[in-house]
Structure 1
């Protein structure tokens, strides 16, 4: 007998959703066989082709849906020359068919309960009919409470989520940031909510084989996640002074616009005193290890970047994104208050601030032992509990009917 796990992430911007699910896949592949005595296989449904650059455990695979991208007027097709409506139907039908074909014991959905414009609802209806246990995985910070409430109401409110989801896993430490207390997770879902701890310790490396970075120690590190909006941070880093005896690695990310990447390269070449010590690249092999071995790191405040940082003792200066959402500023402030990082507001970012911080950071380390960083060790038991319920309990009788339609 075997266990089948499926995961979904919509991935219209960045790779954070898919990489969070990938970390869970490795944790479950390692722990569920030990806990249950059964082998485990899985399928990760994602919406960005760059996700597949990251390997998966043996017996697991990716299913990449044709991509959406977010524009000022809403979601549109990233590459495929079809209407938004047709792409929605293609993605929705593909996800539903794939999940029905593998009939998972457990489905884990990252952040967006019903996907892009409710594209996941048909699949969730099928999962209810088969009795599959469904888990909604949430970052510890969503947005300001007001924005979060509007988002919950836009998808039908917490009752709609409770209709389809058996549990909500919050990937954070409740003592550092509590989205239940702030109202970002509605009170109606409190009984289903479990805090796992941050998905920090035990994260898999990211062997991006297209990289040509050769690491020479000691070095400082600047990274901007996927890079779609990391241009200002990368540019300031390329113009900063470098502590004596160190090199500077700047990772611009696979999704940084070419013009921003070129501007950072040019700034590094024009940094006459330090240009021989600066390396600018989009990718690096084994990013968690790169963070761990750095003398100091500057980064944005995306969940995965913070998880990689907190698994180390590397000093970190966090420059949170201040556009679109309040997620990153709120996360950075909470972790700074807990003593895990230092925070520099985006409006105060400049090369001089980075130079001063690097100079003082390379001679110290940061202990983060007071924070629960062992979420990847906790999810095995939580998953096993859900799977046991799946195999002992018949499918629930529907009590709430959510409309299967797109939300505009």
Structure 2
């Protein structure tokens, strides 16, 4: 068996660990000779289904606030002590698991440089694993990202330690080599894999709608802020907008708060929703694709996974991106909106009335059967898996070595591809 160790950067929300778990799941499903060990500090990993040949080591939790500062989430330890504990666990796992390949999420040296010692030790190992850095399509603004990468020596880390940099995105939307001024020695290692399509819904649209008591042709709006840690304002804005909407025009709405929304905020959402018979609420769903597939319009933040869920499902989206501590979501939403793939509402403009106006605009477009543009290439999971298999000697495919998936935005088909029916 080939052994792959995945390090998940996961101090805020669920996006990183969900993305890395999807990569692990696809890799073992398409490669019977691969087993995966996932290292993560996410407190929610146990809530997801873990397939055979994947296991995980739970690292002590770090927290990151909206200003970007880190701290211990649960243990009464100072940050340096907690990082040292995590770093020791990571080094022990690498030594004992002896991976053939290590896949690192986002930060070349890990959170708070906790991978630095392990990377240095690889040069002394008898059998050095292959090292791959996985980056999402957009990290932050150009100025912020270049400053961080220069200050922390990330460009040099790519040159010194990493065999390849895989990007789950497309240069047609955002070419990070150019936007972040990658030096030639780092840019040469970048390979684009395409955006990650989500798994198909596990439950039929009609069944999900029936479970929510939604009539077959009744428009359904889904509101979800992802993990929910900083999503209360979006949900509260939607609820206020719904409350101000006349009852006969108020759309049937289902809210998923997210498991990391604080309990007192979840309670406030429940209280507000109880006054609106058209609104239902749940805390967490491990099958978001079924819920999104059952909806007609989704109101979301602009995280990578959520946007990929929208693009995969073909549902209409109104995105209110996060702008703290970074501008990643804002940039992604702006670029996607520019191609007509979704509607973007800047946070400063997202009043209850403006949000409901955008939702109604999407419902009206749906009623007129206005088609949406679509992405023609979303094979990110297969692109990543093929690259990893190639690096550990499981695939000898000349085409794989040239893999740089180009995401082309196709014009909307004139056929009736958008409708209320599934």
Q: Do both proteins adopt the same fold according to a TM-score greater than 0.5, normalized to the shorter chain? A: yes
* Aligned match of 1:93: 88
Instruction: For residue 195 of structure 2, give the secondary structure of its aligned residue in structure 1.
Output: coil
The 8 Å contact of residues 105 and 390 in structure 1, kept in 2 or not, is answered as no
What pairs up with 1:313-328 in 2 under 5 angstroms?
313-328=314-329
1:12 has 2:11 as partner: yes
* Aligned match of 1:350: 351
Gaps of 5+ in 1: 34-38, 207-212, 392-408
Change (3 A) 1:371 1:344: farther
1:378 has 2:383 as partner: yes
1:245 CA drift (Å): 8.8
* Aligned match of 1:178: 175
The 8 Å contact of residues 100 and 123 in structure 1, kept in 2 or not, is answered as no
Superposed CA offset, 1:29-65 (max 9, x none): 12223xxxxx221111111221221122211112110
* Aligned match of 1:210: none
1:73 CA drift (Å): 8.7
Change (3 A) 1:24 1:16: same
1:282 CA drift (Å): 1.6
1:193 CA drift (Å): 0.3
Q: 1: CA distance between counterparts of 2:42 and 2:105? A: 14
1:263 CA drift (Å): 2.8
* Aligned match of 2:72: 77
Q: 1: CA distance between counterparts of 2:147 and 2:288? A: 35
**TM-score between both structures, scaled by the size of structure 2:** 0.83
Q: 1: CA distance between counterparts of 2:119 and 2:395? A: 15
Change (3 A) 1:159 1:97: same
The 8 Å contact of residues 176 and 371 in structure 1, kept in 2 or not, is answered as no
Q: 2: CA distance between counterparts of 1:389 and 1:125? A: 26
Q: 1: CA distance between counterparts of 2:136 and 2:161? A: 19
What pairs up with 1:161-310 in 2 under 5 angstroms?
161-183=158-180, 185-202=182-199, 214-217=211-214, 218=218, 219-241=220-242, 246-270=251-275, 275-310=276-311
Change (3 A) 1:133 1:367: farther
Instruction: For residue 86 of structure 1, give the secondary structure of its aligned residue in structure 2.
Output: helix
User: Which has the larger displacement, 121-130 or 23-32?
Assistant: 121-130
* Aligned match of 1:311: 312
Superposed CA offset, 1:125-170 (max 9, x none): 3444332111110011111111111111232241122211111011
Q: 1: CA distance between counterparts of 2:251 and 2:305? A: 26
Q: 2: CA distance between counterparts of 1:365 and 1:27? A: 34
* Aligned match of 2:330: 329
1:142 has 2:139 as partner: yes
Instruction: For residue 305 of structure 2, give the secondary structure of its aligned residue in structure 1.
Output: helix
**TM-score between both structures, scaled by the size of structure 1:** 0.85
The 8 Å contact of residues 251 and 282 in structure 1, kept in 2 or not, is answered as yes
Superposed CA offset, 1:114-135 (max 9, x none): 1122111222234443321111
User: Which has the larger displacement, 312-321 or 366-375?
Assistant: 366-375
1:90 CA drift (Å): 0.9
Superposed CA offset, 1:235-270 (max 9, x none): 011123378695211111111123332332233234
User: Which has the larger displacement, 357-366 or 305-314?
Assistant: 357-366
1:338 CA drift (Å): 1.6
Change (3 A) 1:361 1:354: same
* Aligned match of 2:401: none
The 8 Å contact of residues 143 and 326 in structure 1, kept in 2 or not, is answered as yes
Gaps of 5+ in 2: 204-209, 397-422
Q: 2: CA distance between counterparts of 1:8 and 1:178? A: 24
Q: 1: CA distance between counterparts of 2:76 and 2:184? A: 42
Instruction: For residue 357 of structure 1, give the secondary structure of its aligned residue in structure 2.
Output: helix
Q: 2: CA distance between counterparts of 1:179 and 1:4? A: 30
